[in-house]
Amino acid sequence: MSLNFIEEYTDFKSRNKRSVWIFKLEEDYSYQSQLTGYCFLGKWLRICTDGTIIVPKGYAWDGCTPKYSFLDLFVLGTPDGIIDIDTCKPKTYYASLIHDALYQYYRWHDIPRKDIDLLFLKMMQEHKFKLSKMYYFFVRILGCFFSGRKHPKRLEVKYYYNYSF
């Protein structure tokens, strides 16, 4: 048996498709993190041993969680910050992208939640988001309700991957 993506594994459960998606990537996004030594391949997340994290074009997420839609007319929830003049995106755009993708696959990769949350803080600070420490504080406290537990067969499944990166 050979897997190209973790989604092909029978125990994998995809995320709720009825959630409120605010953003959608128009092109692949790559970020060079300090999280080295990890390797993972999913349809919507690739982690390379050199610390590169790649989220492919088409990935959709809700920005900083939580968000709620009311009758498809408006959305209430955690603000994503003002527009960053350098990126023309909200200041938390890339931090929330990487954080959401890493949490989405948390059960299947080996990166600890603490390191994911610290990366979220670092990326917000890189974009000079003034509430980065407060957002980090709440992610540390509430993140356990969104990440789930590591899947008991995740190490077993790693040996079935057909890595091509």
pLDDT: which is higher, 65 or 58: 58
Residue 11 has a pLDDT of: 75
**For range 12-36, the mean pLDDT:** 86
**For range 95-107, the mean pLDDT:** 95
- So where are the chain's domains? 20-158
Count how many Cα atoms sit within 13 Å of the Cα of residue 99 in the half-sphere of its side chain: 25
Rounded (10°) angle between helices 132-142 and 113-126:
160
Q: What is the mean pLDDT of the chain?
A: 87
Strands 74-77 and 67-70: antiparallel
164, pLDDT greater than 60: no
- Give the global pTM: 0.87
Neighbours of 68 (CB within 10 A): 11
**For range 51-78, the mean pLDDT:** 90
163, pLDDT greater than 60: no
pLDDT: which is higher, 161 or 29: 29
